[in-house]
């Protein structure tokens, strides 16, 4: 028996392999990104022959897992919650069709949001797709739930979702584990066109069958201990109870224990959908009022039948947005208990006085910024220098931080850097205005969902410059390998695909490849591209701005290190640290002079090219 | 055992995760259960980093405002930012000049909440001893000198010894000992 202080994502990886999962697919995204690499680590440690892939996007990941599952194998695909939007078409269809080998979807939520564009609640996607869902409270429970999810999925032949929130994924817990073994099930797809390729007539029947499965699963969920349970004592009636699930349930249980409040019963719904009606009715019958504390939206609150007894988001007792951090839950409970004329948990102000004191200290605002030596910074500098008046649609990745440099006007979702560019073009050209547009997108995002957008734009004759920021890696989510390098997650070699091939294949005739560290060349390249775009015989111009990520390729990204110093020519304009936003430059508080932080400096030397006073030179 | 709550803070790149691992491993070696929460992704790009660590049998990973027994901060501003997490009578350890900490506006609140601040220039000490990146374990040693909580100096020093890679072991242990002594001189 081994023990590790494991990330929640690591505990889930264990659960996946303990369940005998044979096929694992994913696309990275916070907070889900570490699950798949942990599956790789444990598979290697125990010599398992798990098939593991970073897929090109979430839909592809889902489909690959689904095909394995209908061949009889246990399969799992994981993603962040907005990734499930990308896979939604497959997800909904698969629920109707059903599966053979257990199929588990792990969709990781980001209430806050900490690192996402929405706070959407995957449990509601599960409800929409009629997919059963389990909602873990902490890493250890997530690991157990994944095993239950595989069993349920196989028993009822329906995909099952596990929805860990960020506080499960990025919690750490001591976890014990034993030897893991291979699942030896062989692929054996049995032809059945009315099921696997069903037409609408059969879809109706599949829908009907799915609804029947739900009645059975709901019955099962009534007694699915310890995930679903209440703390009612027999024959006892209570003025007030709490209905909860997922991360908030662990907070409520800890807090009631700490404050000795066993007078308040809890209904914990770790498996909230299909709704365990009987269990919930028992609880509602025994309580005059219940408060629903769930994350992030209102699934349980909608599904509870007696709204007159129910307090929660819809009654205004629980905030409608943001993460339910423990002090917020304490505040909600204190207020609700007082409203119900019961004694509150505590007389704490939940940190309010201290937070307002701290708020008045004017502490430094530490906005995220591109790393020291990041090639994206150099690209953004040159783009802005070449075409300051252009529109700048961009995308999701580290380079979203280009907004700090004034070169990111829009961020919608993965792939929208290009679709927004063609959309802007269409909107302006209708008025006979040739709007200059420079779209930016990373290499991984381009593969994820840029190609369809680019083909569409070429076909419909939109005009803009697309700069593909090719750093050879998916940096923001933790340095996953890029398709352009051909490295696969388990160390095997894949087939590298060159961006140039794809770009040309999308119908692009104008393609330049440059290194952004030479800003003079990049500025000229962007200007030349603008001429091509405006030429009646021209089209979309693509520039691949290629330089490896300085973190992911620490030893090779800057082959020629250049130490720099600031000369007396410096007039403290602040361009280098305020506008160019190099984290290694700062204005010394005492002397007021611009200085270089040598510990942080990546020695890329790009600053030699950007100082308006020419006051930076080689040291 | 009652759950003991640590909030650890600093800036991206200062090694908060390693600091958390030192405390967690020492606790594991003593047979305690541990649960923690850390910052990933966007916030790591030069931002403020916070890690919660709970020793004991907690179910939830986050420490609520007003419930931390200890706040260890590798940066003065970050110490202020996470002050609301300290409970009444909690202990505060900061990487800051001894005589310039805390800010006057904070002193009154600390006193009202019976929180005695302890400051040491951990990064300066680590730098002087040749390992600026070991500020994290300098802070752990400093904290351990006061004898609070379930982990003893011996527990923590042995963990630092175990976890330091070969070429850094000697320097790390020297930093540990020096910073422990600095802490002892303030007890």
Kindly state whether residue B187 falls inside one of the protein's structural domains.
Answer: no
Residue where one domain finishes, among candidates A333, A348, A363: A348
Q: What is the mean pLDDT of residues A223-252?
A: 97
Which of A384, A373, A383, A399 shows the shortest CA–CA distance to A583? A373
Domain check: are A92 and A233 in the same one?
no
How many of the other CB atoms lie within 10 Å of CB of B149? 18
Instruction: List chain A residues with CB under 8 Å of B59.
Output: 137-138, 250-251, 253-254
In a domain, B44, yes or no: yes
Per-residue pLDDT for B140 more than 60? yes
Question: In this structure, is residue A368 part of a structural domain?
Answer: no
Name the domain count of chain A: 4
Whether omega before A523 lies within 30 degrees of 0, making that bond cis, reads no
As a whole number, the mean pLDDT across chain A is 96
Cα–Cα distance between A215 and A211 in angstroms, integer?
A: 7
Domain CATH code at residue A574: 3.30.70.20
Residue B41 predicted with pLDDT over 70: no
Residue A359 lies in a domain: no
Q: Could A401 and B45 be called an inter-chain contact, meaning their C-beta atoms sit closer than 8 Å?
A: yes
* Chain B residues whose beta carbon lies within 8 Å of the beta carbon of residue A80: none
Q: Are residues A573 and A542 in the same domain?
A: no
Q: How many residues does chain B have?
A: 187
Alpha carbon of A443: minimum distance to chain B alpha carbons (Å): 19
Mean pLDDT of A425-439: 97
φ, ψ at A252 (rounded to 5°): -65, -45
Residue A363 in domain: no
| Cβ within 8 Å, pair A138-B132 | no
Would an 8 Å CB–CB cutoff place A137 in contact with chain B?
A: yes
Q: Which long-range contacts (CB under 8 A, 24 or more apart) does B97-103 make?
A: B97/B121, B101/B76, B103/A361
| pLDDT-wise least confident of A122-131, A146-155, B31-40 | B31-40
* β-strand partners of B91: B70
Sorting pLDDT into bands at 50, 70 and 90, what band is B46?
A: low
A437 shares its domain with A487: yes
Interchain pair B84, A354: CB under 8 A: yes
State chain B's maximal CA–CA distance in angstroms.
Answer: 46
- Does B106 map to a domain? yes
Which residues lie below 8 Å from residue A190, measured CB to CB, with a gap of 6+?
none
Measured between beta carbons, the chain A residues lying within 8 angstroms of B38 are 170, 172
Please, what is the average pLDDT of chain B? Answer: 92
Q: Find how far residue A555's CA is from the centre of its chain.
A: 28
* Residue of A137, A170, A370 lying closest to B40 (CB–CB): A170
Q: How confident is the model at residue B40 (pLDDT cuts 50, 70, 90)?
A: low
Question: Taking every pair of C-alpha atoms in chain A, what is the biggest distance, in angstroms?
Answer: 84
Within a domain: A450: yes
| Euclidean distance between CA atoms A475 and B47, whole angstroms | 16
**pLDDT value for A589:** 85
State whether A388 and A336 are in the same domain.
no
Query: Is the pLDDT score of B169 beyond 90?
Result: yes
The whole-angstrom distance between B3's CA and the closest CA on chain A is: 9
What is the total count of domains within chain B? 1
Structure tokens that stand for A340 in this block: 């119900």
Give the structural domain span for B94.
4-182
Average the pLDDT over A206-228 and give the result: 98
Q: How confident is the model at residue B44 (pLDDT cuts 50, 70, 90)?
A: low
Task: Judge: A361–B64 Cβ closer than 8 Å, yes or no.
Answer: no
Q: How large is the average pLDDT for residues A291-312? A: 96
> Is the ipTM reported for this complex over the cut 0.90?
yes
Residues A386 and A342 placed together within one structural domain of the fold: no
Find the residue in A nearest to B86 (Cα). Answer: A351
H-run or E-run covering A91: helix A88-97
CATH code, domain carrying B147: 3.40.920.10
Tell me: do A467 and A528 sit in the same domain: yes
Decide if B62 and A367 are in contact by the 8 Å CB cutoff. Answer: no
Q: Are residues A499 and A427 in the same domain?
A: yes
Q: Do A172 and B24 touch (CB under 8 A)?
A: yes
Q: Are residues A131 and A21 in the same domain?
A: yes
* Claim to verify: residue A232 and residue A173 sit in the same structural domain: no
The verdict on A115 touching B (C-beta cutoff 8 Å) is yes
Range of the domain at A296: 228-348
* Residue A367 maps to a domain: no
Record: contact B60-A250, CB cut-off 8 A: yes
- B61/A173 touch (CB, cutoff 8 Å), yes or no: yes
Cα separation, A473 vs A173, in Å, equals 29
Domain-located, residue A362: no
CATH number at residue A31: 3.40.50.970
Segment A438-497, tens digit of pLDDT: 999 999 999 999 999 999 999 999 999 999 999 999 988 888 888 998 889 988 899 999
Determine contact, residues B136/B19, Cβ cutoff 8 Å. yes
Q: Are residues A187 and A277 in the same domain?
A: no
pLDDT at B42: 58
Of B28, B35, B109, the CB nearest to A357: B109
């Amino acid at each position: 028996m081994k023990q590790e202080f494991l990330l929640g994502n690591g505990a889930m990886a264990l659960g996946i392999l303990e369940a005998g999962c044979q096929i694992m697919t994913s696309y990275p995204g916070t907070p889900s990104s570490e699950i798949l690499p942990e599956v790789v680590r444990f598979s290697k440690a125990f010599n398992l022959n798990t098939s593991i892939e970073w897929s090109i996007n979430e839909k592809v990941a889902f489909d690959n897992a689904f095909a394995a599952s209908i061949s009889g194998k246990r399969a799992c695909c994981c993603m962040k919650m907005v990734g499930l939007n990308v896979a939604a078409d497959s997800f909904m269809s698969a629920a109707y069709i059903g599966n053979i080998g257990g199929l588990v979807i792990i969709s990781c939520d980001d209430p806050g949001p900490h690192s996402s564009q929405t706070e959407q609640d995957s449990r509601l996607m599960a409800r929409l797709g009629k997919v059963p869902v389990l909602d873990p409270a902490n890493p250890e429970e997530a690991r157990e739930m994944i095993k239950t999810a595989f069993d349920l999925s196989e028993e009822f032949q329906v995909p099952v979702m596990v929805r860990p929130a960020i506080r499960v994924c990025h919690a750490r817990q001591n976890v014990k584990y034993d030897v893991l073994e291979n699942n030896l099930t062989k692929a054996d797809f049995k032809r059945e066109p009315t099921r696997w390729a069903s037409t609408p007539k059969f879809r109706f029947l599949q829908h009907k069958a799915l609804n029947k499965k739900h009645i059975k699963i709901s019955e099962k969920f009534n007694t699915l201990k310890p995930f679903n349970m209440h703390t009612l004592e027999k024959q006892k009636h209570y003025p007030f109870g709490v209905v909860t699930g997922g991360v908030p349930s662990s907070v409520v249980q800890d807090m009631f224990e700490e404050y000795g409040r066993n007078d308040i019963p809890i209904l914990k719904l770790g498996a909230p959908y299909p709704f365990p009606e009987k269990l919930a009715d028992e609880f509602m019958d025994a309580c005059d009022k219940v408060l629903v504390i769930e994350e992030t939206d209102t699934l349980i609150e909608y599904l509870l039948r007696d709204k007159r007894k129910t307090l929660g988001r819809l009654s205004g007792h629980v905030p409608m947005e943001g993460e339910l951090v423990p002090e917020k839950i304490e505040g909600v409970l204190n207020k609700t208990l007082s409203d119900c004329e019961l004694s509150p948990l505590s007389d704490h102000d939940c940190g309010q006085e201290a937070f307002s004191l701290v708020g008045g200290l004017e502490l430094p605002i530490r906005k995220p910024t591109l790393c020291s030596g990041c090639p994206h910074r150099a690209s953004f500098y040159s783009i802005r220098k070449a075409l300051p008046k252009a529109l700048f649609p961009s995308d999701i990745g580290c380079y979203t931080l280009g907004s700090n440099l004034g070169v990111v006007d829009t961020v919608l979702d993965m792939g929208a850097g290009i679709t927004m560019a063609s959309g802007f073009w269409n909107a302006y050209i209708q008025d006979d205005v040739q709007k200059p547009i420079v779209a930016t997108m990373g290499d991984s995002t381009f593969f994820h969902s840029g190609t369809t957008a680019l083909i569409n734009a070429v076909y419909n004759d939109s005009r803009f410059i697309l700069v593909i920021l090719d750093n050879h890696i998916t940096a923001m989510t933790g340095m996953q390998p890029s398709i352009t390098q051909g490295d696969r997650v388990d160390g095997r070699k894949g087939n590298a695909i060159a961006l140039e091939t794809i770009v040309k294949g999308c119908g692009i005739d104008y393609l330049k490849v440059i290194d952004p560290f030479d800003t003079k060349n990049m500025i000229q390249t962007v200007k030349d591209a603008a001429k091509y775009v405006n030429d009646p015989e021209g089209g979309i111009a693509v520039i691949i701005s290629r330089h490896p990520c300085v973190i992911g390729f620490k030893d090779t990204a800057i082959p020629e290190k250049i130490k720099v110093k600031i000369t007396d020519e410096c007039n403290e304009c602040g361009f280098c640290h305020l506008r160019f936003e190099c984290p290694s430059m700062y204005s010394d508080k005492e002397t007021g002079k611009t200085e270089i932080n040598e510990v942080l400096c990546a020695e890329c030397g790009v600053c030699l090219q950007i100082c308006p006073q020419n006051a930076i030179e080689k040291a | 055992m009652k759950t003991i709550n640590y909030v650890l803070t600093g800036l991206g790149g200062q090694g908060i995760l390693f600091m958390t691992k030192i405390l967690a491993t020492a606790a594991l070696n003593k047979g305690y259960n541990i649960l923690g929460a850390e910052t990933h992704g966007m916030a790591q790009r030069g931002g403020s980093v916070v890690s919660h660590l709970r020793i004991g049998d907690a179910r939830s990973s986050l420490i609520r405002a007003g419930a931390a027994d200890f706040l260890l901060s590798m940066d003065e501003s970050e110490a202020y930012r996470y002050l609301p997490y300290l409970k009444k009578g909690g202990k505060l350890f900061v990487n800051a000049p001894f005589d310039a900490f805390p800010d006057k506006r904070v002193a009154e609140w600390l006193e009202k909440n019976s929180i005695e601040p302890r400051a040491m220039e951990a990064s300066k000490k680590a730098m002087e001893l040749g390992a600026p990146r070991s500020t994290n374990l300098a802070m752990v040693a400093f904290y351990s000198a006061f004898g609070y909580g379930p982990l003893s100096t011996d527990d923590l020093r042995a963990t630092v010894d175990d976890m330091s890679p070969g070429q850094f072991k000697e320097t790390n242990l020297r930093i540990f000992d020096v910073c422990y002594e600095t802490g002892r001189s303030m007890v």
